[in-house]
């Protein structure tokens, strides 16, 4: 990485180059509203779940927009994470690159504007067959239930976008790659191309288990990518489902992390690292041969506004330190910091500057 001399007075390394961090995923516009339990029951939603919209959810999107105080935020799990990473990094702009598919419509324009405001170098594949994807964030107290209508996000095409020379050059510029498991439902061949590039060039490829349904229904593409995964993220629920699907026969989170770490791996120069967050409980991570627990920052229950985006924010903070080649402890500290900021606000939004030392 192109570092200048560390600044001795602060001990900080400066000057990351543009496009060092690459993300690819489903760009969605989040539509968040506070709803009641009746609303969840009506549409058969569970607390703190993430699902893909089906035919019977169509009315949900119409109804949630009628709710009082609807907020629109640029979302999509991977896009949230790279945006938070860029926010944590601040300067230079465009350290983070993002690829995904949107529609040629008003929501698509909002996503482009929001990416620009966040100083992310977003290169969207734009098509007019499907509208820009949306995600209904149904908030009840400090829980959230997400229903994603992928629409355009589902139309990402490797040969129409990723394979283009100008775009692949941006992929090659990166040192760290991050793709949420959600994108496995869209373009596993795009993920594999990026993952193999990282592995063959000894760069860092990171992936997220993202939601229980990924391990349950997209296990095959997930396990095809797994040998290339250097850092695997997930939360306690996703970890438990993953363990069940793989027949780990344990529900001990530390043991699941260890078993996931030891799954077959292509690039043996890097030992896989597994990082599982557990809400307010300790984050569990494999550090070398050991599994270590890292307590999260204390927060008063009353200060929690919206846990939507906490996991994405944790990854974003983590990646911001990872691209600076900092130690795992430091990456987790940055992840805990950014998650702590995000849960005090609605949506995956943040103040102008981080206050992270």
- Residue 88 class from Cβ within 10 Å (0-12 exposed, 13-18 middle, 19+ buried)? buried
What is the C-alpha to C-alpha distance for residues 72 and 348, in angstroms, rounded to an integer? 10
Active site (annotated) includes residue 312: yes
Long-range contacts formed by 287-295: CB under 8 A, 24+ apart: 287/328, 287/329, 291/254, 291/255, 291/257, 291/258, 293/254, 294/329, 294/332, 294/333, 294/336
Q: Please list the residues that pair with 152 across neighbouring strands.
A: none
What is the C-alpha to C-alpha distance for residues 117 and 216, in angstroms, rounded to an integer? 36
| Distance (Å) of CA 268 to CA 200, 209, 271, 301 | 11, 22, 6, 43
Contact 150, 186 (CB under 8 A): yes
Relative to beta strand 28-34, strand 121-127 is unpaired
- The token pair at 194 is 């990026």
Which listed residue (49, 252, 312, 355) is catalytic? 312
Contact 242, 276 (CB under 8 A): no
- The token pair at 96 is 């983070």
Which of 262, 238, 121, 145 is CA-nearest to residue 184? 238
Crossing angle for the helix pair 310-322 and 328-342, nearest 10 degrees?
140
Residue with tokens 């990854």: 315
- Residue 195 class from Cβ within 10 Å (0-12 exposed, 13-18 middle, 19+ buried)? buried
Distance of alpha carbon 349 from the chain centroid? 14
Torsion (CA) 104, 105, 106, 111 in degrees, nearest 10: -40
Catalytic residues: 312
């Amino acid at each position: 990485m192109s570092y200048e001399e560390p600044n001795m007075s602060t001990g900080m390394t400066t000057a990351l180059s543009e496009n060092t961090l690459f993300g690819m995923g489903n760009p969605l516009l989040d539509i968040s509203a506070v709803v009641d339990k009746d609303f969840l029951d009506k549409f058969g939603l569970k607390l703190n779940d993430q699902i893909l919209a089906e035919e019977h959810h169509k009315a949900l999107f119409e109804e949630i927009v009628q709710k009082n105080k609807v907020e629109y935020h640029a979302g999509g799990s991977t896009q949230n994470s790279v945006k938070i990473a860029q926010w944590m990094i601040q300067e230079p702009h465009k350290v983070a690159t993002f690829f995904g598919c949107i529609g040629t419509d008003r929501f698509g324009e909002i996503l482009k504007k929001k990416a620009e405001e966040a100083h992310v170098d977003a290169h969207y594949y734009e098509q007019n067959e499907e509208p820009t994807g949306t995600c209904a964030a149904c908030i009840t107290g400090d829980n959230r239930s997400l229903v994603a209508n992928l629409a355009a996000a589902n139309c990402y095409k490797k040969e129409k976008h990723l394979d283009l020379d100008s775009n692949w050059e941006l992929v090659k510029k990166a040192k760290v790659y991050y793709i949420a498991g959600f994108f496995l439902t869209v373009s596993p061949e795009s993920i594999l191309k990026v993952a193999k590039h990282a592995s063959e060039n000894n760069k860092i490829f990171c992936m997220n288990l993202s939601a229980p349904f990924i391990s349950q229904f997209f296990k095959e593409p997930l396990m095809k990518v797994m040998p290339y995964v250097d850092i695997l993220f997930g939360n306690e629920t996703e970890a438990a489902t993953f363990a069940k699907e793989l027949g780990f026969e344990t529900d001990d989170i530390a043991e699941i992390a260890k078993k996931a770490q030891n799954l077959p791996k292509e690039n043996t120069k890097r030992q896989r690292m597994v990082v599982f967050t557990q809400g307010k409980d300790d984050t569990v991570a494999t550090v070398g041969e050991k599994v270590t627990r890292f307590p999260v920052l204390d927060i008063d229950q009353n200060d929690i506004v919206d846990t939507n985006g906490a996991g994405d924010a944790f990854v974003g903070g983590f990646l911001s330190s990872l691209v600076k080649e900092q130690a795992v402890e430091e990456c987790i500290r940055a992840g805990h910091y950014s998650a702590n900021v995000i849960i005090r606000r609605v949506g995956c939004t943040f103040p102008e500057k981080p206050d992270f030392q």
